[in-house]
Structure formats: C-alpha cells, structure tokens
Amino acid sequence: MGTGLGIFLLVVGAILKFAVKDSVQGVDLEMIGLILMGAGVLSLVLTLIMQQQRRHTRHDAVIERHDTTLPPSDRY
C-alpha cells in the first residue's frame, strides 16, 4: 500500500460517489464510492504510520578489517 494507491482509491471513490449519475440494478454505486474513499483514507494513514516508524529506526554499519600487511607466506 502506498501513497499512490490511497490517492487512486480516493479519486475513484469520489467519482463514483459524486459524479456518476447512472444506476446499476442491484448495485449501489454511491456506497461503493464511500467504501473506496474509506479504503483510500485507511491506505494513506497506514502508509504515513509505516513511514514514521521507518524514520525512527537506527541503522549501524559494521566494517570488518583484515590485516593484510604481512607477506603471503607469513599469513598462515
């Protein structure tokens, strides 16, 4: 789930809720629009929470160093 998905769901839901005046027998397009808008908001909120948690994560780099200054015959 990303920001793009959340915005897409919000836009499609708003189109179905406010712009579409046709009707399909047995299907409430306005309710589907509301559900899609709710899913879009939920997607955006979850994305923001996940990004906030990622910012507070600590990353450490471990660098290994091997002594290679000895001649090859003395290393073993």
> Which domain range does residue 11 map to?
3-53
Amino acid 73: pLDDT:
64
Q: Report the pLDDT value the prediction gives residue 31, as an integer from 0 to 100.
A: 94
Per-position b or e across 17-44, b if 16+ CB within 10 A of its CB: beeeeeeeeeeeeeebbeebbebbeebb
Report, as an integer, the average pLDDT of 50-74: 74
Residue 28, domain member (yes or no): yes
Within-domain flag for 62: no
Question: Which tens digit of pLDDT belongs to each residue from 20-54?
Answer: 988 889 999 999 999 999 999 999 999 999 888 77
This prediction has a pTM of 0.67
In a domain? residue 43: yes
Q: What is the pLDDT of residue 37?
A: 96
Within a domain: residue 74? no
Average pLDDT over all residues of the chain: 85
| Residue 15 is assigned to a structural domain of this protein | yes
Give the C-alpha separation, 9 to 38, whole Å.
Answer: 8
The total number of structural domains that make up the chain? 1
